[in-house]
Chain A
Amino acid sequence: DAGVIQSPRHEVTEMGQEVTLRCKPISGHNSLFWYRQTMMRGLELLIYFNNNVPIDDSGMPEDRFSAKMPNASFSTLKIQPSEPRDSAVYFCASSPSGQFGNEQFFGPGTRLTVL
């Protein structure tokens, strides 16, 4: 099993540009999570999908952030326009179920730098 796959692993962009992060969850997992990790705020949940449907997006910082899950094997997190304060490591995680007590499997993360 390849685990959760994220791309790109590193992204450097200029302020104002659009950024798209990609995630392929583990096959058979029906829950997907996007997290952001920074030095100041630690690990924060941005959005949670269950069976491709967004269930909780209360962690999405603002309208510049959007996430989609068009099918069970692919999700994107888009930032438009990007700002320097968006610089962080973004993790995608998947779980066999969104139900209580299930382990979340994290991808390797995408390190985003906005200049």
Chain B
Amino acid sequence: GESVGLHLPTLSVQEGDNSIINCAYSNSASDYFIWYKQESGKGPQFIIDIRSNMDKRQGQRVTVLLNKTVKHLSLQIAATQPGDSAVYFCAESISGGYQKVTFGTGTKLQVIP
């Protein structure tokens, strides 16, 4: 489904290679970060999250790195598969209140078989 702007960054990766998707967040007060995956015609799906007291968190085939100094997040996908093709969004949130999440513009990942 339609999910991103006309100038969406696109990352093309060979199947089996590792993918790294980067994101710069805007609010230095944000202390909770989430990566979502959105496949065509579907809603965003949670992948992994990280709190600001951590620099790294690993999931199944995915790793999120957080650099608070430069307000940067990255999502690493190991052994990229065709099913990983989607748009990936980073999102930021602030604790202490309700879970208002601000989404980034997204990066399109294309996996080349």
Contact = CB atoms under 8 A, between A and B. Distances in A.
Interface of B: 1-6, 32, 34, 41-46, 49, 51, 89, 93-106
Contacts of A56: 98, 100
Interface residues of A, number: 32
A70 interface: no
Contacts, number: 77
B5 A101 contact: no
A111 B2 CA distance: 9
A102 B98 CA distance: 10
A18 interface: no
7 contacts: A31-B99, A39-B6, A48-B100, A89-B2, A100-B99, A101-B99, A106-B43
B41 A37 contact: no
Interface stretch (A61-69, A71-79, A91-99): A91-99
A105 B5 CA distance: 23
